[in-house]
Amino acid sequence: MTKYDKEALEKFRLSGKILRESREEMKKFVREGMSAIEVCEKAESLIREKGGKPAFPCNVSINEVAAHYTSPPNDKLKIPEKAVVKVDMGVHVDGYVTDTAFTACFDSEYSSMQSAAEHALNAAIESIHGEMATSQIGLIIERTIKNRGFKPISNLTGHSVGRYLIHAGTSIPNVMQLSFAKVKAGEIYAIEPFITLPDAVGRIENSPEVTIFRLVKVKSVKNPNTKKLLKYIEKNFRTLPFAERWLKDVVPEDKHREAFKELLKCKAVMGYPVFIEISRKTVTQAEHTLLIKENGCEVLT
């Protein structure tokens, strides 16, 4: 008995195909000196052109920033020379989420750390199967990374995905971890090793910057602009993460800031802080979404 019926699995597969094609185009697109917002908007428009919807804003996380940076409105950030850029993208088709990431490496000094992330991901893909312990997957990822002379980021994990859910409950660690959790055949998981230098702390912390948001609860608000913004978020993103730049033109420009702040203040909307490596060392990442089978897996992305 699998969790998803045939129709749902076909939507996951379509979601994965759209994401795979978009990611491959983005690998050729990303360049040094390009503005971050151009990268985000290109990824998101590719996804839409191919018939999907972004499951979350495209993340463009540079050097020691590990994850969760997307361009805020009117972002001036540019990809610096010799940058190491994690581009993390998600698609949903009727709510069925797939998630993928690659590292664009413009400094040859980090190219073996970029490929180490791919190798760790592939090692996990080659060994994963139904009923495998998540601790065992973490061990395989950790060993692959350490064998290549690098360090896994120990407090970032992969995750099960679901309908309108990016994190559906089960975490897939990137290090050996005591846990009795197992991956189940018929369920969908994103595996995503994050890697840093051996002399780094190897953990991330929250930065004060917040660029990605999510609806928590539909609250009653009085201000008509705040109400309008909340309705728009509920209708268009449901519980999926969104970027503030996706709310452009929903309310008059001069009223937007105040209305958006009110949604955060009354906790109708929450923010995800940007994740930064504690010792400010460069981080690489690779990610695929997998459908687990009894004897292996199908890579959806």
Q: Which residues are catalytic?
A: 88, 99, 159, 167, 192, 287
Site for Mn ion in 115-174 (CB under 5 A): none
Spatial neighbors of 171 by CB under 8 A, at least 6 apart, are: 134, 157, 158, 159, 181
Give the residue with the Cβ less far from Mn ion, 101 or 286.
101
**Span interacting with Mn ion, options 127-135, 136-144, 183-191, 201-209, rule CB under 5 A:** 183-191
Binders in 225-254 for Mn ion, by CB under 5 A: none
Q: How far is the CB of 88 from Mn ion (least distance, A)?
A: 4
C-alpha to C-alpha distance for 220 and 258, rounded to whole angstroms: 16
Q: Which is nearer to Mn ion, 142 or 192 (CB)?
A: 192
* Residues paired with residue 188 on neighbouring β-strands, in sequence order: 161, 291
- Contact range with Mn ion by CB under 5 A, out of 103-111, 144-152, 192-200, 226-234: 192-200
Distance of CA 90 to the CA centre of its chain: 7
User: Which window, 9-17, 185-193, 202-210, 237-245, contacts Mn ion (CB under 5 A)?
Assistant: 185-193
- 94-113 positions binding Mn ion, by CB under 5 A: 99, 101
Q: Which is nearer to Mn ion, 244 or 287 (CB)?
A: 287
To the nearest whole angstrom, how small is the minimum distance from the Cβ of residue 201 to Mn ion? 22
Token duo for residue 43: 């990824």
Helices of type H across 55-133:
111-127
Q: Which C-beta is closer to Mn ion: that of 212 or that of 263?
A: 212
Stretch that binds Mn ion, among 226-234, 247-255, 258-266, 284-292 (CB under 5 A): 284-292
Q: How many CA atoms lie within 13 A of 178 on its CB side?
A: 0
Tell me if residue 286 falls in helix, strand or coil.
coil
Q: Which residues lie closer than 8 Å to 38 by C-beta, 6 or more apart?
A: none
- Does the protein bind Mn ion through residue 88 (CB under 5 A)? yes
Report if residue 190 touches Mn ion, rule: CB under 5 A: yes
- Closest to Mn ion by CB, 43 vs 101, is 101
Q: Binding to Mn ion by residue 36, rule CB under 5 A?
A: no
What are all long-range contacts of 254-263, with beta carbons under 8 Å and residues at least 24 apart? 255/225, 256/225, 256/229, 258/223, 258/225, 259/223, 259/225, 259/226, 259/228, 259/229, 260/229, 262/221, 262/223, 262/226, 263/221, 263/226, 263/229, 263/230, 263/233
- Residues near Mn ion (CB under 5 A) are 88, 99, 101, 190, 192, 287
